[in-house]
Amino acid sequence: MYPGGEPLPESRKAGCIARLIGTLPQSLSATWGWRPGRQLLVLAVPALLSACVGERQLALQFAAQVRGEALGCDASYEKIGASGTTLQLLDFKAYVHGVSLVRKSGEKHPLVLEQDGRWQRETVALLDFEDGSGSCNTGSPEMRTEVVGVVPDFDDYTGVEFTIGVPRELNHKNVEWVEPPLDDPSMWWSWTYGYRFLRLDVRSGGNRSYVFHLRADGCTGTPDIGVDCNAENQGTFLLTGFVPGQSRIVFDVAALFAHTDFESSGDGLTDPVPGCLSSADDPECAALLPQVGLGGGPRPTGGADAFIRVE
Protein backbone atom coordinates (compact mmCIF):
# COMPACT_ATOMS: atom_id res chain seq x y z
CA MET A 1 0.00 0.00 0.00
CA TYR A 2 0.97 3.61 -0.40
CA PRO A 3 1.90 5.58 2.73
CA GLY A 4 -1.55 7.15 2.80
CA GLY A 5 -3.19 3.74 3.08
CA GLU A 6 -4.58 3.50 -0.45
CA PRO A 7 -4.57 0.03 -2.07
CA LEU A 8 -1.94 -0.76 -4.68
CA PRO A 9 -3.33 0.20 -8.16
CA GLU A 10 -4.01 -2.64 -10.61
CA SER A 11 -1.24 -1.47 -12.97
CA ARG A 12 1.31 -1.49 -10.16
CA LYS A 13 -0.01 -4.86 -8.97
CA ALA A 14 0.46 -6.36 -12.44
CA GLY A 15 3.98 -4.94 -12.63
CA CYS A 16 4.81 -6.39 -9.24
CA ILE A 17 3.65 -9.87 -10.33
CA ALA A 18 5.62 -9.62 -13.55
CA ARG A 19 8.81 -8.80 -11.67
CA LEU A 20 8.27 -11.67 -9.26
CA ILE A 21 7.57 -14.08 -12.12
CA GLY A 22 10.90 -13.06 -13.57
CA THR A 23 12.61 -14.38 -10.44
CA LEU A 24 10.81 -17.72 -10.41
CA PRO A 25 13.19 -19.83 -12.53
CA GLN A 26 16.25 -18.93 -10.47
CA SER A 27 14.68 -19.23 -7.03
CA LEU A 28 12.57 -22.34 -7.66
CA SER A 29 15.29 -24.11 -9.62
CA ALA A 30 17.67 -23.68 -6.70
CA THR A 31 15.10 -24.90 -4.19
CA TRP A 32 13.13 -27.64 -5.95
CA GLY A 33 14.98 -28.29 -9.21
CA TRP A 34 12.16 -26.44 -10.98
CA ARG A 35 11.98 -26.12 -14.75
CA PRO A 36 9.77 -23.53 -16.48
CA GLY A 37 6.26 -24.83 -16.97
CA ARG A 38 2.85 -23.34 -17.44
CA GLN A 39 1.16 -25.41 -14.73
CA LEU A 40 3.49 -24.30 -11.96
CA LEU A 41 3.20 -20.71 -13.10
CA VAL A 42 -0.59 -20.90 -12.78
CA LEU A 43 -0.26 -22.34 -9.28
CA ALA A 44 2.22 -19.66 -8.27
CA VAL A 45 0.20 -16.63 -9.40
CA PRO A 46 -2.15 -16.51 -6.34
CA ALA A 47 0.82 -16.51 -3.99
CA LEU A 48 2.50 -13.80 -6.07
CA LEU A 49 -0.67 -11.73 -5.98
CA SER A 50 -0.72 -11.98 -2.17
CA ALA A 51 2.84 -10.68 -2.11
CA CYS A 52 1.86 -7.67 -4.20
CA VAL A 53 -1.39 -6.48 -2.67
CA GLY A 54 0.14 -4.79 0.34
CA GLU A 55 -1.01 -5.06 3.94
CA ARG A 56 -3.99 -3.88 5.91
CA GLN A 57 -4.10 -3.33 9.65
CA LEU A 58 -7.15 -4.70 11.41
CA ALA A 59 -8.50 -4.59 14.94
CA LEU A 60 -10.86 -7.54 15.40
CA GLN A 61 -13.46 -6.52 17.97
CA PHE A 62 -14.76 -8.95 20.62
CA ALA A 63 -17.65 -8.42 23.03
CA ALA A 64 -19.12 -10.24 26.04
CA GLN A 65 -22.90 -10.15 26.20
CA VAL A 66 -25.99 -11.59 27.84
CA ARG A 67 -28.80 -11.87 25.25
CA GLY A 68 -27.63 -8.75 23.43
CA GLU A 69 -26.90 -6.77 26.58
CA ALA A 70 -23.28 -5.93 27.42
CA LEU A 71 -21.86 -8.15 30.17
CA GLY A 72 -20.51 -6.03 33.00
CA CYS A 73 -19.32 -6.20 36.58
CA ASP A 74 -21.99 -3.84 37.91
CA ALA A 75 -25.17 -5.66 36.90
CA SER A 76 -27.24 -8.78 37.58
CA TYR A 77 -28.66 -10.92 34.79
CA GLU A 78 -31.93 -12.76 35.38
CA LYS A 79 -33.42 -16.03 34.13
CA ILE A 80 -30.15 -17.63 33.03
CA GLY A 81 -29.92 -21.37 32.33
CA ALA A 82 -32.34 -24.23 32.84
CA SER A 83 -32.87 -23.12 36.44
CA GLY A 84 -33.69 -19.50 35.55
CA THR A 85 -30.98 -18.25 37.89
CA THR A 86 -29.81 -14.66 38.47
CA LEU A 87 -26.08 -14.29 37.78
CA GLN A 88 -23.33 -11.74 38.39
CA LEU A 89 -19.96 -11.72 36.64
CA LEU A 90 -16.82 -12.38 38.71
CA ASP A 91 -14.16 -12.92 36.02
CA PHE A 92 -13.96 -13.51 32.26
CA LYS A 93 -10.76 -13.91 30.25
CA ALA A 94 -9.71 -16.01 27.27
CA TYR A 95 -6.65 -16.79 25.16
CA VAL A 96 -7.00 -17.02 21.39
CA HIS A 97 -4.39 -17.99 18.81
CA GLY A 98 -4.08 -18.84 15.13
CA VAL A 99 -6.33 -15.99 14.01
CA SER A 100 -6.96 -15.89 10.25
CA LEU A 101 -9.19 -13.95 7.88
CA VAL A 102 -11.07 -15.99 5.26
CA ARG A 103 -11.78 -14.75 1.74
CA LYS A 104 -14.94 -15.49 -0.23
CA SER A 105 -13.02 -18.21 -2.10
CA GLY A 106 -12.17 -19.95 1.19
CA GLU A 107 -8.54 -18.85 1.05
CA LYS A 108 -7.21 -18.13 4.55
CA HIS A 109 -4.67 -15.48 5.53
CA PRO A 110 -3.16 -15.40 9.04
CA LEU A 111 -3.55 -12.19 11.00
CA VAL A 112 0.05 -11.32 11.88
CA LEU A 113 -0.35 -10.02 15.41
CA GLU A 114 1.04 -6.72 16.61
CA GLN A 115 3.71 -7.53 19.19
CA ASP A 116 2.65 -5.02 21.83
CA GLY A 117 4.49 -6.55 24.80
CA ARG A 118 1.32 -6.72 26.90
CA TRP A 119 -1.68 -8.40 25.29
CA GLN A 120 -0.19 -10.09 22.24
CA ARG A 121 2.95 -12.13 21.57
CA GLU A 122 3.81 -14.41 18.65
CA THR A 123 0.41 -15.88 17.62
CA VAL A 124 -1.29 -15.63 21.05
CA ALA A 125 -3.62 -12.88 22.29
CA LEU A 126 -5.34 -12.42 25.66
CA LEU A 127 -8.88 -11.07 25.91
CA ASP A 128 -10.05 -9.58 29.23
CA PHE A 129 -13.73 -8.68 29.69
CA GLU A 130 -13.72 -7.62 33.36
CA ASP A 131 -12.65 -4.21 34.70
CA GLY A 132 -12.07 -4.94 38.41
CA SER A 133 -15.17 -3.04 39.53
CA GLY A 134 -18.30 -4.20 41.32
CA SER A 135 -18.54 -7.98 41.58
CA CYS A 136 -15.22 -8.38 39.68
CA ASN A 137 -13.19 -6.99 42.59
CA THR A 138 -10.46 -9.63 42.29
CA GLY A 139 -9.60 -8.40 38.79
CA SER A 140 -7.88 -5.30 37.42
CA PRO A 141 -9.12 -2.13 35.70
CA GLU A 142 -7.43 -3.06 32.42
CA MET A 143 -9.63 -4.58 29.73
CA ARG A 144 -8.82 -5.94 26.29
CA THR A 145 -11.55 -6.61 23.75
CA GLU A 146 -9.66 -6.62 20.45
CA VAL A 147 -6.98 -8.52 18.57
CA VAL A 148 -4.79 -6.31 16.37
CA GLY A 149 -2.64 -7.30 13.41
CA VAL A 150 -2.10 -7.09 9.65
CA VAL A 151 -3.32 -9.20 6.73
CA PRO A 152 -3.01 -8.91 2.94
CA ASP A 153 -5.23 -6.08 1.73
CA PHE A 154 -8.02 -8.01 0.00
CA ASP A 155 -11.54 -6.59 -0.10
CA ASP A 156 -13.45 -9.90 -0.07
CA TYR A 157 -12.93 -11.23 3.45
CA THR A 158 -16.14 -12.92 4.59
CA GLY A 159 -15.04 -15.02 7.56
CA VAL A 160 -12.73 -15.26 10.53
CA GLU A 161 -11.07 -18.30 12.13
CA PHE A 162 -9.39 -18.64 15.52
CA THR A 163 -8.67 -21.18 18.24
CA ILE A 164 -9.48 -20.72 21.92
CA GLY A 165 -6.36 -21.83 23.77
CA VAL A 166 -2.59 -21.62 23.90
CA PRO A 167 -0.38 -23.43 21.35
CA ARG A 168 0.65 -26.82 22.69
CA GLU A 169 4.35 -25.94 22.61
CA LEU A 170 3.70 -22.94 24.89
CA ASN A 171 1.11 -24.45 27.20
CA HIS A 172 3.34 -26.18 29.75
CA LYS A 173 5.55 -23.32 30.87
CA ASN A 174 6.21 -21.78 34.26
CA VAL A 175 4.10 -18.62 34.45
CA GLU A 176 6.91 -16.90 36.40
CA TRP A 177 9.36 -17.30 33.52
CA VAL A 178 7.29 -16.23 30.52
CA GLU A 179 6.51 -12.92 28.84
CA PRO A 180 3.07 -11.28 28.59
CA PRO A 181 0.37 -12.22 27.90
CA LEU A 182 1.23 -15.68 29.25
CA ASP A 183 2.40 -14.28 32.60
CA ASP A 184 -1.11 -13.85 34.07
CA PRO A 185 -1.23 -16.03 37.22
CA SER A 186 -5.03 -16.06 37.22
CA MET A 187 -4.92 -18.00 33.93
CA TRP A 188 -2.34 -20.54 35.11
CA TRP A 189 -3.43 -24.01 36.22
CA SER A 190 -0.34 -26.11 36.92
CA TRP A 191 2.94 -27.33 35.45
CA THR A 192 1.28 -30.41 33.98
CA TYR A 193 -2.06 -29.02 32.84
CA GLY A 194 -0.82 -25.63 31.68
CA TYR A 195 -3.11 -22.64 31.24
CA ARG A 196 -6.76 -21.92 31.60
CA PHE A 197 -7.64 -21.19 27.98
CA LEU A 198 -10.92 -19.61 28.99
CA ARG A 199 -11.94 -18.55 32.49
CA LEU A 200 -15.51 -17.56 33.23
CA ASP A 201 -16.53 -17.22 36.90
CA VAL A 202 -20.02 -16.12 37.93
CA ARG A 203 -22.03 -15.84 41.15
CA SER A 204 -25.56 -17.16 41.32
CA GLY A 205 -28.49 -15.55 43.13
CA GLY A 206 -27.76 -17.66 46.19
CA ASN A 207 -24.29 -16.11 46.49
CA ARG A 208 -22.78 -19.32 45.15
CA SER A 209 -19.87 -19.31 42.71
CA TYR A 210 -20.01 -21.26 39.47
CA VAL A 211 -16.98 -21.63 37.17
CA PHE A 212 -16.19 -22.69 33.62
CA HIS A 213 -12.44 -23.21 33.18
CA LEU A 214 -11.34 -24.57 29.82
CA ARG A 215 -7.98 -26.38 29.94
CA ALA A 216 -6.19 -29.51 28.76
CA ASP A 217 -7.27 -32.74 30.44
CA GLY A 218 -5.70 -36.11 31.25
CA CYS A 219 -2.14 -34.75 31.20
CA THR A 220 0.90 -36.67 32.42
CA GLY A 221 4.61 -35.93 32.47
CA THR A 222 6.65 -32.85 33.32
CA PRO A 223 7.86 -29.87 31.28
CA ASP A 224 11.41 -31.28 31.48
CA ILE A 225 10.63 -34.62 29.86
CA GLY A 226 7.49 -33.62 27.99
CA VAL A 227 3.77 -33.58 28.70
CA ASP A 228 1.08 -35.64 26.97
CA CYS A 229 -2.63 -34.91 27.37
CA ASN A 230 -5.60 -37.09 26.52
CA ALA A 231 -7.54 -33.99 25.49
CA GLU A 232 -5.98 -30.70 24.44
CA ASN A 233 -9.44 -29.08 24.62
CA GLN A 234 -8.75 -26.32 22.11
CA GLY A 235 -11.71 -25.60 19.89
CA THR A 236 -11.27 -23.89 16.51
CA PHE A 237 -14.03 -21.63 15.21
CA LEU A 238 -14.69 -20.68 11.60
CA LEU A 239 -17.29 -17.92 11.59
CA THR A 240 -18.88 -16.67 8.38
CA GLY A 241 -20.61 -13.39 7.67
CA PHE A 242 -17.69 -11.43 9.08
CA VAL A 243 -17.01 -7.98 7.63
CA PRO A 244 -13.68 -6.49 8.81
CA GLY A 245 -14.15 -3.10 10.42
CA GLN A 246 -17.91 -3.65 10.86
CA SER A 247 -18.52 -7.01 12.50
CA ARG A 248 -17.53 -8.15 15.95
CA ILE A 249 -17.20 -11.55 17.61
CA VAL A 250 -19.62 -12.03 20.48
CA PHE A 251 -19.33 -14.32 23.52
CA ASP A 252 -22.90 -14.70 24.79
CA VAL A 253 -22.95 -16.01 28.37
CA ALA A 254 -26.69 -16.69 28.30
CA ALA A 255 -26.23 -18.97 25.28
CA LEU A 256 -23.30 -20.77 26.93
CA PHE A 257 -25.34 -21.55 30.05
CA ALA A 258 -28.63 -22.21 28.27
CA HIS A 259 -28.84 -25.82 29.52
CA THR A 260 -27.09 -25.38 32.87
CA ASP A 261 -28.92 -26.02 36.14
CA PHE A 262 -27.09 -23.80 38.61
CA GLU A 263 -29.22 -24.90 41.55
CA SER A 264 -28.22 -28.58 41.44
CA SER A 265 -24.54 -28.24 40.55
CA GLY A 266 -21.66 -29.38 42.74
CA ASP A 267 -23.08 -31.89 45.22
CA GLY A 268 -19.82 -31.91 47.19
CA LEU A 269 -19.31 -35.66 46.67
CA THR A 270 -19.21 -36.98 43.11
CA ASP A 271 -19.13 -33.39 41.81
CA PRO A 272 -17.18 -31.31 44.35
CA VAL A 273 -16.95 -28.02 42.44
CA PRO A 274 -19.99 -26.15 41.03
CA GLY A 275 -19.11 -25.78 37.37
CA CYS A 276 -16.96 -27.37 34.68
CA LEU A 277 -13.18 -27.76 35.01
CA SER A 278 -12.84 -29.57 31.65
CA SER A 279 -12.51 -33.02 33.21
CA ALA A 280 -13.82 -35.97 31.21
CA ASP A 281 -15.83 -37.22 34.20
CA ASP A 282 -17.34 -33.86 35.19
CA PRO A 283 -21.11 -34.11 34.53
CA GLU A 284 -21.53 -30.36 34.17
CA CYS A 285 -19.15 -30.18 31.20
CA ALA A 286 -21.54 -32.07 28.91
CA ALA A 287 -23.67 -28.96 28.39
CA LEU A 288 -20.74 -26.53 28.11
CA LEU A 289 -17.92 -28.11 26.09
CA PRO A 290 -19.95 -28.39 22.83
CA GLN A 291 -20.42 -24.61 22.95
CA VAL A 292 -16.64 -24.20 22.62
CA GLY A 293 -16.36 -26.78 19.83
CA LEU A 294 -15.53 -29.74 22.07
CA GLY A 295 -17.19 -32.80 23.57
CA GLY A 296 -19.65 -35.20 22.02
CA GLY A 297 -22.61 -32.88 21.68
CA PRO A 298 -23.70 -30.92 18.61
CA ARG A 299 -21.06 -28.40 17.57
CA PRO A 300 -22.08 -24.73 17.49
CA THR A 301 -22.82 -23.22 14.09
CA GLY A 302 -22.30 -19.57 14.98
CA GLY A 303 -26.05 -18.88 14.81
CA ALA A 304 -28.05 -16.51 16.98
CA ASP A 305 -28.21 -19.05 19.84
CA ALA A 306 -24.47 -19.86 19.86
CA PHE A 307 -22.07 -18.86 22.62
CA ILE A 308 -19.57 -17.58 20.03
CA ARG A 309 -20.96 -15.85 16.97
CA VAL A 310 -20.58 -12.87 14.63
CA GLU A 311 -22.81 -9.82 14.74
Domain locations in the chain as residue ranges: 10-52, 55-310
Res. 40: pLDDT tops 50: no
Res. 240: pLDDT tops 50: yes
Global confidence as pTM = 0.83
State residue 299's pLDDT score. 56
- pLDDT tier at 173, thresholds 50, 70, 90: confident
Q: Which residues make Cβ contacts (< 8 Å) with residue 234, sequence separation at least 6?
A: 163, 164, 165, 166, 197
Q: Do the Cβ atoms of 228 and 219 come closer than 8 Å?
A: yes
Question: Mean pLDDT of all residues in the chain?
Answer: 84
- pLDDT tier at 188, thresholds 50, 70, 90: very high
State residue 8's pLDDT score. 43
In tens, the pLDDT along 28-37 reads 444 434 444 4
Half-sphere exposure of 82 (CA within 13 A, CB side): 10
| Identity of residue 141 | P
Distance CA 92, CA 195 (A): 14
State residue 303's pLDDT score. 73
